[in-house]
Amino acid sequence: MDKKTDAMEKKYIEMFLDRMTAERNASSHTVRAYAADLRQFFQFLRGIRIWGEDSENKDFSAIDQGLVRLFMGSLHKRGLSPVTMERKLSTLRAFFRFLNQVDVIRQNPAKSVSSPSKPKTTPDFLTPDEVTALVESPNGSDAKSLRDKAILELFYATGARVSELASLSVEDIDFDRKVITIHGKGGKDRVTPFGSRAEKALRAHLAIQGGEGSDKLGVPVFTNRSAKRLSVRSIYSVVRDRAGKVGIDRPVAPHKLRHTFATHMLDGGANLRDIQEMMGHSSLSTTQKYTHVGLRRLMRVYDAAHPRASLKNEKSDNISEG
């Protein structure tokens, strides 16, 4: 590998990641994703001999829109999802925008590259019967059952992300007001209420766990057998395994419980702005996807109840009149 090109690449990637951390307050997980995406892009350029030792191109200005499109095409051939491709393109846009801001390049080659088309989907969610069976499935009095029940109740009570639940500390819980402080994306905290069932499950869990030992985030609410903070992967396993045991016939991950929370809140009459705040969405348009789910439910109710909603009801009226 060309040492000069390698050093330059490393220097500006590190500068970019530092800026994302300092100015955008990006999480360590996001920073690692940025770094991985950029490594993959430059490795691709090396593979086609456009960058590095086997190339005549020794600076970033040689990277144009066509090369970015070529990279995106290679991702498509590998079968990556549109969501993943969009994330990688977003990383490139941000990186080249940074290079433009520090006067390394004159134009952002990723700016005008079209995002991959994403299928229009509405969020998947559990029915009230399914979620009731799920959250009530840990019915033992042992430490694991009490912990799992508290996890499931809190997911459904707050709509928290799995990373947010994993980072939850005892200090974040206010039992008097029945609210928790959730440390969300980009360092944005929000205060979210929880109900009596979640409170009962949390109190029972903490009474057994003891709330002892702390890390840089505080005293963990959820821990493993080694009394260490429960990882995101372990929480995923709790949700998946408990869903399988109650016979839910499709994959259930923590994010599905988040969708379920939002959908059931909307169905129950909650204001869209309130749901946005509780879920920590930066844009209302993100929350609005749940209105499509609610609209389908309303249409079913309308079709079933309104006398003139369908031809079937009209035929029934004609028969009764005859």
Using DSSP's 3-state secondary structure scheme, residue 171 falls into: helix
Number of residues that make up the chain: 322
Phi/psi for 169 (5° steps) reads -120, 160
Cα angle 78-161-248, degrees, rounded to a multiple of 5: 75
Asked if 19 is an active-site residue, the reply is no
Asked if 255 is an active-site residue, the reply is yes
Are 261 and 134 in contact by the 8 Å Cβ rule? The answer is no
Host H or E run for residue 183: strand 179-183
Phi/psi for 191 (5° steps) reads -105, 125
Q: How far apart (Å, rounded) are the C-alpha atoms in residues 219 and 223?
A: 10
Closest CA to 272 of 285, 260, 258, 254: 285
Q: How many alpha carbons lie under 13 Å from residue 7 in its C-beta half-sphere? A: 3
Tokens of 62: 């040689």
Q: How far apart (Å, rounded) are the C-alpha atoms in residues 146 and 208?
A: 8
Strand order in the sheet with 179-183: 173-174, 179-183, 189-193
Asked if 258 is an active-site residue, the reply is yes
Neighbours of 193 (CB within 10 A): 13
Catalytic residue, chosen from 242, 258, 259, 264, is: 258
Asked if 34 is an active-site residue, the reply is no
Asked if 190 is an active-site residue, the reply is no
Helix/strand/coil percent split, the chain, to 5: 60, 5, 35
Catalytic residue, chosen from 46, 205, 256, 290, is: 290
Catalytic residue, chosen from 87, 97, 255, 289, is: 255
Catalytic residue, chosen from 161, 205, 242, 259, is: 161
Catalytic residue, chosen from 93, 147, 149, 281, is: 281
Catalytic residue, chosen from 19, 178, 183, 185, is: 185
b/e per residue, 271-290, with b = 16+ CB within 10 A? ebeebbebbbbeeeeebeeb
Question: Looking at the annotation, which residues are catalytic?
Answer: 161, 185, 255, 258, 281, 290
